[in-house]
Chain A
């Protein structure tokens, strides 16, 4: 699993990667009440806003950590947004993306580096 400074995670399995927001992000947002997911087939560029997560505190864009095409979205999330708080890095995943440039993963932080980054916040 790799991480961004915007607190997204990406977990690659072959050329398909799962995306979500980190436990830290979920904690900071507070209770998530609404999630807007991209449509399947949408092409993402690393850094593009691809989803919206709204909590009782704020509405935030979620940025794509990597480039690729959305092949699946977590269809259960819109009806159960609280899953993002309960299991942000597991059942609370947002979308699966077919990677167009797997080398982008190398530029992201591993867990140790991300935890180091969090300790500076």
Chain B
């Protein structure tokens, strides 16, 4: 099988036309120090069967989350995705359509986005939502930039419970625009500590619930403190299923809610593509990033959908756009919308209850093990535990037995001095026998 369509004769003819002696000569303007000295060290091309075998060997080195007991959360969650979701998103009308450049002709795509926005607005308890962003962390960074525009201030205060990757995404985007991010020290149960860091420069405070340690917080008092100082409250959620049980960000006074929507309809894959949820108070609509789909009527009075308020966006406002993101996670948003539609309000509530129940079973099983301390005071489906030894060592030892025990905090917060802290998570996919196996393996490991 040939991968390259050009023959040596094709190349020689083209080089002759432009008068270049070789393809390498075309790169003569690139400094020699920046060029590779020789060919890249790759095996020669192979037949389809050989490639399939090589890829199969590589894939076998990975251990899929579904291959056994699995307790990782910390921003990405293993949930059951109904087969109908995959079936429907693979319809070519959905699968092959990219962000609509001639949007109004794609009424089906727009209707999905409108339904998605309606669901996000309902879940977050805020009236306006966009058609999605890349993922939760970039949505969080966009919230920082939006708050800076709205308040005309230049500082964001990030709680010690905000997922560290989200904090880094905020810094990455904000610091180039002159917006500073002040990140408070990692803390299991101290979202309200942001209040003491608010001053006259504060554009927003960012808190997370459930936070990266799993702690659930009613942030209403933080909202009041932020508003009293003229700052906005951004509430982050990495586990969207928690919306089924917990008070919504809007109910608690959030001005902006951002979330990772992966949990609903989307598999773990390798950390992406995921889907960022973004919702806000209506007064802030004009400063929102991303695409917005609106409902309207056509010339005959029939219901139709349009992309609306596009003057915020890059193709019209150029460098003064509210964001340089002018696309959305369309297919992941579609999967989210289909799964949410299948669940419905009662279904989501039920799913959330099962998640919490499984996490409580896990808590009870782990709390009974000598040397294990439960650190998270109020949780939804994940929590932090303290072990009598290094969490990384314990995770590696249990992995050898086929049990993926969770995420060591040191992987997320290497400098926090929490090497003995492990984040564990249970969802509806966690069988009670998985919990029993985990507890038994951990008991043995700690007894050694």
Contact = CB atoms under 8 A, between A and B. Distances in A.
A36 B152 CA distance: 12
A52 B320 contact: yes
A59 B286 contact: no
Interface string B130-159: 000000000000000000000010000000
Contacts of B9: none
Contacts of B396: none
A11 interface: no
A59 B311 CA distance: 6
A59 B152 contact: no
Nearest to B287: A36
Interface of B: 152, 286, 311, 316-317, 320
Q: Which of A36, A49, A59 gathers most chain B CB within 10 Å?
A: A59
Contacts of A34: 286, 311
Interface string A10-51: 000000000000000000000000101001000000000100
Interface of A: 34, 36, 39, 49, 52, 54, 58-59, 61
B282 to A, nearest CB: 14
Interface of B, secondary structure class, is helix
Contacts of B317: 59
A61 B320 contact: yes
Contacts of B286: 34, 36
Contacts of B316: 58-59
Nearest to B312: A59
Contacts of A54: 311
Nearest to B286: A34
- CB-based closest 6 A-B pairs: A59-B311, A54-B311, A39-B152, A59-B317, A59-B316, A34-B286
13 contacts: A34-B286, A34-B311, A36-B286, A39-B152, A49-B320, A52-B320, A54-B311, A58-B311, A58-B316, A59-B311, A59-B316, A59-B317, A61-B320
Nearest to A56: B311
Given A34-B311, A58-B311, 11 more contacts: A34-B286, A36-B286, A39-B152, A49-B320, A52-B320, A54-B311, A58-B316, A59-B311, A59-B316, A59-B317, A61-B320
A114 B152 CA distance: 35
Nearest to A57: B311
A59 B315 CA distance: 11
